[in-house]
Amino acid sequence: MPGRRTRTWAGTLATALTTALTAAALGLSGAGQASAADVNNARNPGFESGLTDWTCSAGSGAAVSSPVRSGSAALKATPAGQDNAKCVQMVAVKPTVSGATGYNAYRGALRHRPAKQESTEAPSRGAVGIGRGHTSECANGRTSTSYATHHARPGHLQYSAGLGGYTVNQFKADIRAKQAAGKKVIVSVGGERGTVAVNDATSAANFANSVYSLMQTYGFDGVDIDLENGLNATYMTQALRSLSAKAGPSMVLTMAPQTIDMQSTSNAYFQTALNVKDILTVVNMQYYNSGSMLGCDGRVYSQGSVDFLTALACIQLEGGLSPSQVGLGLPASTRGAGSGYVSPSVVSAALDCLTRGTNCGSFKPSRTYPDLRGAMTWSTNWDALAGNAWSNSVGPKVHGLP
């Protein structure tokens, strides 16, 4: 089990957002008749023609002239209610051609495209971790890591950083610079639509070998498990233990489950966390984009309140995880998630409640957990766009905990 570590500022755990809702240079997908020039290429990729060829959910998208990463325009999409502001284009793809895929498509993972049309979204995800221990920080001011996604071989992951005018050598140099500053940089596996199948011994070995290869190639300190489409506890445990044996005791292992995944120790995600407890760094459950959930007292709590945070964290704290392995994951702003945003003051109140027994809502834990690990936010990019209000508030709170 990881021991208690010196309190240090941490930054991005694993971000797939390179520029906030800028979709220029994305090789996305599309429908309808396509000319030869459109194969494997998005039409109007830089949004110079507004939203022509793009469809945004709930009318959430708009082409803007500032801020832009390159060219003269960019995409701005604002989620509201349960909508998560997806902007999609369908394009024809050529069979067996390698291309970029994932939320951060121009720094995404390579795979062989099938003989069909695909749909991908403009990037909209990332994470910032503020904890009392080694997590990671933004590798270059835009992004720390992207999501690694699966290859044709089950469990095997591929990742490429040398895309979009940002070279592999620059990426490696940025990682080394952050590590020299005392930060940890990890690669995240999965995401909302990332499916990685580790369901047998072969795929478990493929997973461990490919992640370790990425760690050696880029210098990653570890891996974040963000599988939101199910996992097999037996074989994911096998894969993570194999990876740990290869990487050694300094490997960082984090998880970012959804609330439903941690409702009971019988759930596969929770089982996996307990199975690898001795090598697990932290679980940053996502307390957002969630329906109402049960707390450890058996009562139902709705997201968006201090009780939702404390009563659900209690399940993990009383279910077998060490307090030093539990973090609270919240959106950095109302734009960071479709639902579940709470102000930094609510996050701070939850931290006080869990560690000191003060500032609680109607739910008050039966005991305190002074070694609670900290908090995570989605994402560093959204936080920056909001003037770093989240990290400026929650950061000092975390570092002032008992």
CA proximity to 10, closest of 374, 253, 388: 374
- 228 an active-site residue? yes
Instruction: Report the Cα–Cα distance between both ends of the chain, in Å, rounded.
Output: 20
- Beta strand 147-150 with 157-158: parallel, antiparallel or unpaired? antiparallel
Write b or e for each residue in 282-309: b if 16 or more Cβ atoms lie within 10 A of its Cβ, otherwise e.
bbbbbbbbbeebebbeeeebebbbbbbb
Return d(Cα 135, Cα 5) in angstroms, integer.
Answer: 11
Report residue 285: phi and psi, to 5°.
-65, 145
Burial (CB count within 10 angstroms: exposed 0-12, middle 13-18, buried 19+), residue 358:
exposed
Catalytic residue among 121, 137, 228, 318: 228
Residue 390 belongs to what H/E stretch? helix 389-399
CA 25 vs CA 19, 120, 160, 241: distances in Å: 11, 13, 15, 38
Helical residues (DSSP H) of 219-343, grouped into ranges: 233-247, 268-275, 306-318
CA 397 vs CA 130, 132, 348, 375: distances in Å: 10, 11, 6, 10
For the chain, how long is the longest CA-to-CA vector?
65
Give catalytic residue positions. Answer: 228
